[in-house]
């Protein structure tokens, strides 16, 4: 059941009607049932993994992490990490050498072809459960005694499959709230955010995918001009797809009066790599920062910069592999780690200048877009060959391809996306929130019309559901 399907639309309306009809005391039951039904619609068999890990984490957190005995806490935490990462490893990485993308190069003569299934959303809900356990271990949050609400914290359907990865300290108190009154303005802003997310997905991302998929899946060799177009378009596709999903999730939360964390903050307006990673997939970056980078940096604090740089590299390498067990994702992570290290190392100080700012933004966009090359190529060998080919771009042919794109639906999508992002970047969002309700209604109606007229209705899955 994809967020961008009519079936999900009907499901959401039913859940919302039920949610606001019931009393707060019983809403968690509806949400938990809806979340499990939503998960079953993907693959009923893997519901056992979701329920199994939920029960395990609930039991361990109550028996071990809630204990005044420090060593019991410590060994309990180790057990939780071992089991959670073990489940993730078993499903995602055990067949590491069976995925084609990770197959050794052909010259080794080795060949693996077996593939196994993967419980959708496992990477996300495992990290969310782990964050609860880490925070409980550090006494940052109280233990959750209510099994049903803990299960809902893990499986809350808007963010179950691809985040945002919520912290217990933020989500659990909202699920435990004694009262939650219907607020039309909050509900309306949720609807608006949901529509904006849907627009990003079906008008921006899917129209770009329509153009890029035949090119990237082509069995024939691509010209460097086509690769260059793909390098420039893919960042918009990925952003539209993933931030679209996140916006829809946050929007759905708001419709239920639940505040979820935003996952993106106009990342392509970042003025440094560090700034970019504060704006891109925020919930995952924070997770890695809090639970991996900071402990590592503290552990190696005596080694000075080397310790910090090593922590950055390990964090980014693992972040890459968290996405997918492939050499390309590892390289993507490492390349971003190198960008960040280089930035920290030379301590590049740009003068604060209004005219230089767009140049910095463009520079960072190009670095990021280049790193995404590893995500769109078949394998590492192809990534390298594309890099070698890129300098041979024929600018005349490039012009022909651009003129083809000019009148397509994707041009409309990217244009409107940039327009709104610039509007938001200029901090006009507050201005919009203060506007009269009829003006907001007109903007939302225009958004709906854009989705109806320019949206790709094929119901393509979200890119991050793969991870």
Contacting positions for another protein (CB under 8 A): 6-7, 9-10, 407-409, 412, 441-442, 444-446, 448-449, 452-457
The CB-of-409 to another protein minimum distance in angstroms stands at: 6
The CB-of-37 to another protein minimum distance in angstroms stands at: 17
The CB-of-369 to another protein minimum distance in angstroms stands at: 26
Q: 52 vs 441, which CB is nearer to another protein? A: 441
Q: 86 vs 441, which CB is nearer to another protein? A: 441
Which residues make Cβ contacts (< 8 Å) with residue 320, sequence separation at least 6?
329, 330, 331, 332, 333, 334, 336
Q: 80 vs 417, which CB is nearer to another protein? A: 417
Rounded to whole angstroms, the Cα distance separating 263 from 26 reads 29
Q: 5 vs 289, which CB is nearer to another protein? A: 5
The CB-of-198 to another protein minimum distance in angstroms stands at: 13
Q: 318 vs 411, which CB is nearer to another protein? A: 411
Q: 143 vs 412, which CB is nearer to another protein? A: 412
Is 187 buried (19+), middle (13-18) or exposed (0-12) by CB count in 10 A?
A: middle
Closest to 333 measured CA to CA, from 280, 295, 385: 280
The CB-of-201 to another protein minimum distance in angstroms stands at: 15
Q: 295 vs 441, which CB is nearer to another protein? A: 441
Q: 361 vs 405, which CB is nearer to another protein? A: 405
Rounded to whole angstroms, the Cα distance separating 84 from 63 reads 16
The CB-of-214 to another protein minimum distance in angstroms stands at: 13
The catalytic site residues sit at 323
The CB-of-449 to another protein minimum distance in angstroms stands at: 6
The CB-of-95 to another protein minimum distance in angstroms stands at: 27
């Amino acid at each position: 059941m994809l967020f961008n399907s009519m079936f999900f639309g009907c499901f959401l309306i039913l859940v919302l009607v039920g949610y606001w009809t019931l009393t707060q005391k019983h809403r968690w039951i509806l949400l938990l049932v809806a979340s499990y039904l939503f998960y079953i619609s993907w693959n009923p068999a893997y519901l056992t993994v979701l329920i199994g890990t939920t029960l395990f984490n609930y039991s361990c957190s109550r028996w071990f992490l809630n204990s005044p005995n420090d060593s019991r806490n410590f060994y309990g935490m180790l057990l939780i990490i071992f089991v959670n990462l073990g489940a993730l490893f078993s499903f995602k990485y055990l067949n590491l050498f069976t995925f084609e993308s990770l197959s050794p190069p052909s010259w080794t003569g080795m060949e693996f072809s077996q593939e196994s299934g993967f419980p959708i959303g496992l990477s996300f809900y495992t990290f969310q459960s782990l964050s609860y356990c880490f925070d409980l271990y550090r006494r940052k949050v109280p233990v959750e005694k209510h099994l049903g609400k803990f299960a809902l914290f893990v499986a809350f359907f808007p963010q179950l499959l691809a985040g945002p990865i919520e912290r217990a300290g933020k989500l659990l108190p909202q699920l435990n709230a004694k009262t939650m009154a219907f607020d039309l303005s909050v509900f309306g802003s949720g609807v608006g955010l949901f529509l904006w997310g849907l627009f990003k997905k079906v008008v921006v991302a899917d129209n770009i995918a329509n153009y890029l998929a035949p090119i990237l899946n082509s069995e024939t060799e691509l010209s460097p001009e086509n690769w260059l177009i793909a390098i420039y378009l893919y960042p918009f596709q990925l952003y539209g797809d993933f931030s679209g999903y996140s916006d829809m999730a946050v929007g759905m939360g708001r419709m239920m009066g639940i505040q979820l964390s935003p996952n993106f903050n106009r990342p392509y307006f970042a003025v440094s790599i560090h700034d970019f990673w504060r704006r891109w997939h925020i919930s995952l970056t924070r997770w890695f920062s809090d639970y991996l980078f900071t402990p590592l940096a503290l552990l190696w604090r005596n080694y000075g910069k080397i310790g910090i740089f090593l922590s950055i590299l390990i964090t980014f390498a693992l972040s890459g592999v968290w996405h997918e067990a492939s050499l390309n994702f590892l390289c993507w992570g490492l390349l971003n780690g190198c960008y960040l290290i280089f930035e920290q190392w030379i301590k590049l100080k740009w003068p604060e200048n209004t005219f230089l700012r767009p140049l910095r933004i463009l520079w960072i966009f190009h670095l990021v877009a280049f790193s995404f090359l590893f995500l769109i190529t078949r394998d590492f060998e192809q990534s390298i060959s594309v890099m070698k080919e890129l300098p041979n771009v024929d600018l005349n042919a490039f012009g022909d391809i651009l003129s083809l794109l000019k009148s397509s639906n994707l041009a409309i999508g990217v244009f409107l996306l940039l327009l709104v992002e610039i509007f938001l970047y200029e901090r006009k969002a507050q201005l919009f929130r203060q506007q009269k309700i009829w003006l907001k209604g007109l903007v939302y109606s225009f958004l709906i019309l854009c989705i109806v007229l320019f949206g790709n209705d094929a119901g393509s899955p979200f890119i991050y559901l793969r991870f």
